[in-house]
Amino acid sequence: QLQLVESGGGLVQAGGSLRLACTARGYTTNINAMGWYRSAPGKQRELVAAITSGGSTDYVDSAKGRFTISRDNAKNTVYLQMNNLKPDDTAVYYCHADTPPRDYWGRGTQVTVSS
């Protein structure tokens, strides 16, 4: 079993920054990729950024150049640094961990960007 605990969401003005953190607790030995998804009203949940255990990263096009995902394997924690935030970034952000043959989700943290 694995538990993902997220922190760092909040309200920020457009152009501001937030840093999300997600710590995995429990059976962490088999964690492969970790990442962040987001879900906004009226939109499908989308992958924002992901990082493998080896450090390879992937981003949704709208996040490239503004968001940076990083990972501290010793702390079983993944971070999402979000800069130059836009109102379209407003969503609930969910941490995800891929632990074959199953995966896990956090409860989500709200990010609200005001214009």
Task: Convert the pLDDT of each residue in 43-59 to its tens digit.
Answer: 999 999 999 989 999 99
Residue 51 has what pLDDT? 97
H helices of 56-106, in order, are none
Q: Which whole-number Å values give the CA distances from 94 to 25, 46, 78, 115, in the listed order?
A: 16, 10, 12, 23
Q: Is 12:113 a contact under the CB 8 Å cutoff?
A: yes
Q: How far apart are CA 55 and CA 69, in angstroms?
A: 10
pLDDT tens-digit series, residues 2-23: 999 999 999 999 999 999 999 9
Q: Which residues contact 108 (CB under 8 A, 6 or more apart)?
A: 6, 39, 92, 93, 94
pLDDT tens-digit series, residues 66-99: 999 999 989 999 999 999 999 999 999 999 999 9
Residue 1 has what pLDDT? 87
Q: Which of 7, 30, 18 is nearest to 95 (CA)?
A: 7
Q: How far apart are CA 20 and CA 9, in angstroms?
A: 6
